Structure 1
């Protein structure tokens, strides 16, 4: 090849500054296995589209958070345009080509494309012919995948993710970030109890990272006093790997490991926007569930973390300031995560005696989301747990509040189907706890 870059070539491209239109209707309907979509690694992707519909889907795919590390360019034209283009330039990691040709013509065109493809380049065809014989022939000839139009962004992202997931590698972990709508609402307490519940009740390995560098409480809550943790991990990004991460982790239970914050004021902490990128990537490889305990605040790095994770949980108390802040966060995250559902909402400390509160249903209604659970105000229970360095489930695994944390853990891990015939229903649990709290006031 002559070493020309893609930018040296004069091929019509989709205007990168144009706001892409999101496909509507069934095109955006997420499949049942959306939770299994994989993060795409740092690869170069070139797409050659013949129709406006497929063009829009690929444009939307390029903006999805799962593609944030990939470099995607969308060109007009099908196989003929690709052959001309790669006659003068090296091929990228992945080529996506749309073709409206019938089977015989499509196979002929692929022969021409094969002559200009570099070794190691993968090809995905988006065709308009639904023919299993054609599919088998394409796979036999080395095509990585064949998708039948119309395609959805979930299909395309899923296909790319599957291509670049090593068969030997463990599945990428699912990352959930917890953040408070207001300072002091108990977001860290919720995050820690949910992490413990995932490890204990769902029996998944969990890594929890306390990202509140100055005032983090995870070490106290889990009765750990590690000498190193998050700060050391982000201070040496060039040395950070799975081996180093293992050395920095504190083992809380058989399945739960903690990356603690220094929680000292000996230095000031001003993480850059990219500070936690490498750490989160490596944590994904270390366990199927990753929980991030974020401090309340809004900065470049918190914004980026929240935009990139699989689930966001906003913890709020039922008052006006929390409502305003939660509304702002949900609206902003909707723009940052256009192809994901809204953040999860957890109402905490519900039923404080003599405190005017917004009703849980009205609070959730104003945000346009449904609260996963409402956790009652129980200062004795939570205070005792904190002082003992225990989780609620460690004090009493059958306690009604422990059941609420189990419910959250099921939702954020995708196991939202709650076992029936197991004790009281969620509504009855909350009602019983609220009555108990008022009776003791």
Structure 2
């Protein structure tokens, strides 16, 4: 199936839409609260094809990007043979099967070759609390019962290296327009404002369109420093410096503005924004990234690394083609993440032939998060006044759409609540075979 419709033979919208249709997006919500694994070395020794496939999928996940994972078959015997002659990595993952006595004996043998500081995760087919306690008492870091999912494996690794005293990392949300002029920045700025207002929590907006960004205009701010200064001095970038260059928009919303000048060119490298994003995540609960409509190394890297993506499009064929290409790319790069949120903007423009939002979404295997109608008077008034839609008319249906969007991307169950997702605890590890 081609990713690009045949524009020459287009007699209407339905045939190109059919060409662009594909199966539903395969992402999942399950891993949305799992943090990234730090820069560690991991060597896994699997026994079954199923666990090997799970480990291979984990190796490709964005949360494992900094870790170095090596995979081998053979279980504990293979691990012992390997580390008789080689130093052990930060983490060893071994799969085993059989009775308790053989498992304990094999692990004791493996322990003879483990360097100080090496952690061990055991994956086994024995579902027994007593065995779990025995393994933990012998220094095993974690015991997982097969079959193990990608998220269980990544989550178990991440928890081993998480700092219990560290503040939880903030959530990153990227707004990306599939075509220039589709209004992604307006959606991003209103969405961020609604997020701060609904949850009464700190939100930072980073305008990443260095040459033409409009966040300063939309929020009626004219700061002297912003995104460019932050990425130009990575050696100075920390939470204190970030706080100094942020522009306060209201009690809970701050802006890291773009310079929006053409005095220089902005040829940023792939990792240029990485440290800035990590610093913002360590500082505030919610980070909104206004990503420009472009396709280069740093845009791709940003979309790959964030927690949530909001994809903004207008209901025409060019937007549909670009959206299809974007969705396919994200599905390939983020196979274990849930799909992007689709926002249809400028719907029902008078006298303009359009693709119906539901048909547009169906062709992508998505659902429409919001279909924002074409309201030039409302949006024009807000833009000219440096206001958000909720400030112009907080009872308008579009203002409620932005509130719903904020709710969806927040990762929280309800506004004003900040409860963390439940961790099943010890009992959940041994509950698989019940019911």
Deviation track 1:153-185 (CA, whole Å, cap 9, x = no partner) reads: 011011112122211112222211111111111
Match of 1:306 in 2: 303
- Residue in structure 1 matching 2:71, options 65, 69, 74: 74
Map 1:8-47 → 2, pairs under 5 A = 34-47=31-44
Partner-residue secondary structure (3-state), 1:207: strand
Aligned-residue offset at 1:87: 2.5
Aligned-residue offset at 1:134: 0.5
**Which whole-Å CA distance do the structure 2 matches of 1:409 and 1:377 have between them?**
20
CA contact (8 A) 2:38 2:67 kept: yes
Partner-residue secondary structure (3-state), 2:288: strand
Cα root mean square deviation, aligned? 1.8
Q: 139-148 vs 127-136, which deviates more?
A: 139-148
- Residue in structure 2 matching 1:57, options 54, 59, 64: 54
TM-score between both structures, scaled by the size of structure 1 = 0.85
Map 1:239-258 → 2, pairs under 5 A = 239-258=236-255
**Residue 288 (structure 1) aligned with residue 288 (structure 2):** no
| Gap regions ≥5 residues in structure 1 | 1-27, 420-441
Aligned-residue offset at 1:328: 1.2
**Which whole-Å CA distance do the structure 1 matches of 2:238 and 2:399 have between them?**
35
Partner-residue secondary structure (3-state), 2:63: helix
| Gap regions ≥5 residues in structure 2 | 1-25, 417-435
**Which whole-Å CA distance do the structure 1 matches of 2:267 and 2:248 have between them?**
27
Map 1:395-406 → 2, pairs under 5 A = 395-406=392-403
Map 1:151-166 → 2, pairs under 5 A = 151-166=148-163
Deviation track 1:343-378 (CA, whole Å, cap 9, x = no partner) reads: 211001111122221111221122221110101111
**Which whole-Å CA distance do the structure 2 matches of 1:102 and 1:252 have between them?**
62
Aligned residues: 391
**Which whole-Å CA distance do the structure 1 matches of 2:286 and 2:93 have between them?**
32
Q: 390-399 vs 185-194, which deviates more?
A: 390-399
- Residue in structure 2 matching 1:168, options 165, 168, 181: 165
TM-score between both structures, scaled by the size of structure 2 = 0.86
Match of 1:206 in 2: 203
**Which whole-Å CA distance do the structure 1 matches of 2:205 and 2:380 have between them?**
21
**Which whole-Å CA distance do the structure 1 matches of 2:378 and 2:159 have between them?**
45
Match of 2:408 in 1: 411
Aligned-residue offset at 1:271: 0.5
Match of 1:392 in 2: 389
CA contact (8 A) 2:198 2:415 kept: no
CA contact (8 A) 1:97 1:126 kept: yes
* Higher relative contact order (Cα pairs below 8 Å, separated by 6+ residues): 2
Deviation track 1:56-93 (CA, whole Å, cap 9, x = no partner) reads: 11011000011111111111222222223223322222
Partner-residue secondary structure (3-state), 1:346: strand
**Which whole-Å CA distance do the structure 2 matches of 1:252 and 1:91 have between them?**
51
Match of 1:10 in 2: none
Map 1:2-401 → 2, pairs under 5 A = 34-401=31-398
CA contact (8 A) 1:407 1:418 kept: no
